Amino acid sequence: MTDDAMFLADCRARLAFDLLANTWNAVVVWALRGGPLRHGELRARIGGISQKVLTETLRRLEFNGLVARRAHGGSPPRVDYALTDLGRSLLAPIDAFGAWAFAHGDEVMAAQERHAQEP
């Protein structure tokens, strides 16, 4: 495969970029790194995410095979979410991206401020 072919619409690299393009996908995957959580626990751990957006994100991650939803019997019924092996395989790239952001975030914000001040 040539370097130019790596970013075509049907290539695997684009699939990975699409998964991480949604802000909440990586945040939810990272929040689940310690083990299964219920919807409310997950929302509290993340903060700043609405119930609706969290539900949509969990469905998207489940659809892509990154998160497994498990319903437990009982009264009231309980549902928790956990990373699949595929989801766990994303932790290292997310960690690397976070490290990059930590190292270069000030530079990015400075560039944004310079751009915002331009006439």
- Collect the ranges in the chain with pLDDT lower than 70: 1-10
pLDDT of residue 65: 97
pLDDT of residue 10: 65
pLDDT of residue 89: 96
Indicate the pTM of the whole model.
Answer: 0.83
d(CA 52, CA 60): 12
Q: Which stretches of 66-115 are assigned E, i.e. beta strand? A: 67-72, 78-83
Q: Are 99 and 56 in contact (CB under 8 A)?
A: no
What fold does the segment set 4-117 form as a domain? Arc Repressor Mutant, subunit A (1.10.10)
pLDDT of residue 2: 56
Cα 29 to its chain centre, rounded Å, is 5
